[in-house]
Structure 1
Amino acid sequence: MSGWMIFRHAVGMVLRNWRQALQISGFIFAVLVIFQISLERAAKVHIGIDSTMLQTVSPAMWLSMVAYSFVYITLSIWIAVAWHRYILLEELPEGWFPKWHGMAVLRYLGFMVLIGFMIVLAVSVFGFILMMLMPGAMPIFAIFLAIGAVIVSFRLSPLLVAAAIGERMDISEAWEKTSGSTGAILLIIVLQFALSVGLQIPPNLMMFISPVLSFVIEVVVLWFWTLVTASQLTTFYGHFVQERPLV
């Protein structure tokens, strides 16, 4: 039941604090959307399709994608750090820009890279071994490896939240604190997937009526889904690390 309660608490957290969520992330998220639209328009100019249907990316396009990735990751972490701090430390936003915590953002990014590297390394090793032993069953194993990667990322996610709020935590402590959470994580995965599918219905239906309104709804949906995802990490940390009740 803790998986359902974590998911419900995360969704309710955004709905109950939607004004603060909009104040923390609204302007920054709008910048991300504008940046993405600009990149997509640039892609139409710089990307050509040859006779073999292979995309040829110009150096200018590569620079645009690198710049976009850097800006997107930085601004996304800024939002996540501010949201974690608002929920767990009650750090209220001031104006339409959340307070910039440079060291917290840097540590958050560092742990993201570390967790990503560990998961990629583990999946690559296990995937190679399984492919050598039972190559025919690799598609099935790939599903389990993907699920395992998500479980590991969730169990290590307290490292990110701790970095955001200025707490010290190492990998072994995060793993120990989240012991016994696998069942809850599996349910969260299912519920998150269901939420993602459900949220795509309104903009897809509106596409037949008004593409512009459909785009606006899609932006709102993406914003809501992003905040819910951050809230799940916050709730996960609050419950398993700080032992807060799920009410």
Structure 2
Amino acid sequence: MLGWKLFKHALRMIFGNWREVLRIFLVPTIVGILGIVAFIAVFADRLEASGPVGSGIGLAIFSVMIFYAIVATWSIVAWHRFVLLEEIPQGWIPPFNIGRIFSYWWQMLKITLLAIVVGLPVGVLLVSFVEVSLPIAILIGLPVYFLLIVSYMRLSILLPAAAIGAPISIGQAFEATKGFGGSFLLLLLSLIGFQILLQLPVSLTTLLFAPLSAIFSVVAAVLATLLNISVLTTLHGHFIEGRSVD
């Protein structure tokens, strides 16, 4: 039942530290929203203006993406450091560790590239199975899909390690989580079940009262995001640092 314990611990970290959650995520979220609104306003002005808008828009869109990535990783890194290093936020602006942010990006790039290198050939192979027999493709594809996701989750402990300035290798990540595939699968299923539960009030209120459904949708998205971040921290704390999740 380790997977269930990991899930509960990650959830408990959010609600048990809700004040710190606000201090770490509120200001970066507001900054991100204001920044995107400002960029949209600039786009609107340029599109309404006479003359070509051309290449500048592509550069602006790229700038928006980088800006949003920095702001998002700012709070994520701060959360990892709060839990794992007890770096308690002072005031309402969390510490901005640009070096840790870039290190976090580098680890994300490594994991993404590895997922592409492994996943692309597997995807092509599954497509060929679909052309032969859909039942066989499903029978083979589902286990392979869950195996790939579990492998990705095992690698995800590279991210909080980068956030706290104690990076680990891909080999170390796999070694630390070796033999716990079933626990990761149960954790994955718990996350999927939680996401379904979050969507229930959204679905139920969609036809009854749209504004309430929109509120529920935002709350569900925020909780799901926070939980995923907390899961990463919990995985690192347990498998790398040996922390208890009981």
> Under TM normalisation by the shorter chain, which class is it?
0.7 to 0.9
- 2:6 alignment counterpart: 6
Task: Name the aligned partner's letter for residue 168 of structure 1.
Answer: P
- 1:49 alignment counterpart: none
Q: Find the aligned partners of 1:163 and 1:36 in 2 and give their Cα distance.
A: 27
CA deviation vs aligned residue, 1:140-190 (integer Å, no higher than 9, x gap): 244344322211211111211110111131111111011112111111111
> Structure 1's 64 and 147: CA in aligned 2 closer, same or farther, altered over 3 A?
farther
Q: Find the aligned partners of 1:75 and 1:184 in 2 and give their Cα distance.
A: 32
CA deviation vs aligned residue, 1:125-150 (integer Å, no higher than 9, x gap): 23334555774257424434432221
- 2:197 alignment counterpart: 198
Question: In the alignment, is residue 94 of structure 1 matched against residue 90 of structure 2?
Answer: yes
Q: For residues 25-36 of structure 1, what are the structure 2 equivalents within 5 Å?
A: 25-33=25-33
Q: Find the aligned partners of 2:20 and 2:61 in 1 and give their Cα distance.
A: 31
Question: SS in structure 2 opposite 1:97?
Answer: coil
Q: Bigger CA drift: 66-75 or 169-178? A: 66-75
Asked whether the equivalents of residues 29 and 223 of structure 1 are also in contact (C-alpha less than 8 Å), the reply is: no
- 2:235 alignment counterpart: 236
Unaligned runs of 5+ in 1: 47-57
Shift of 1:194: 1.2
CA deviation vs aligned residue, 1:167-216 (integer Å, no higher than 9, x gap): 13111111101111211111111111111111122234344454344333
Asked whether the equivalents of residues 119 and 153 of structure 1 are also in contact (C-alpha less than 8 Å), the reply is: yes
- 1:20 alignment counterpart: 20
Shift of 1:222: 1.6
> Structure 1's 217 and 127: CA in aligned 2 closer, same or farther, altered over 3 A?
closer
Q: Bigger CA drift: 62-71 or 216-225? A: 62-71
Shift of 1:121: 0.8
Question: In the alignment, is residue 85 of structure 1 matched against residue 78 of structure 2?
Answer: no
Asked whether the equivalents of residues 32 and 68 of structure 2 are also in contact (C-alpha less than 8 Å), the reply is: yes
Unaligned runs of 5+ in 2: 47-53
Instruction: Tell me the matched-pair count.
Output: 237
Task: Name the aligned partner's letter for residue 162 of structure 1.
Answer: A
- 2:113 alignment counterpart: 117
Q: Find the aligned partners of 2:106 and 2:76 in 1 and give their Cα distance.
A: 14
Question: SS in structure 2 opposite 1:246?
Answer: coil
The CA RMSD over aligned residues, in Å, is 3.0
Question: In the alignment, is residue 136 of structure 1 matched against residue 138 of structure 2?
Answer: no
- 1:222 alignment counterpart: 221
> Structure 1's 243 and 17: CA in aligned 2 closer, same or farther, altered over 3 A?
same
Task: Name the aligned partner's letter for residue 215 of structure 2.
Answer: V
CA deviation vs aligned residue, 1:57-99 (integer Å, no higher than 9, x gap): x867755653443233222222211111111111111222210
> Structure 1's 205 and 71: CA in aligned 2 closer, same or farther, altered over 3 A?
farther
Shift of 1:244: 0.9
Q: Find the aligned partners of 1:96 and 1:25 in 2 and give their Cα distance.
A: 9
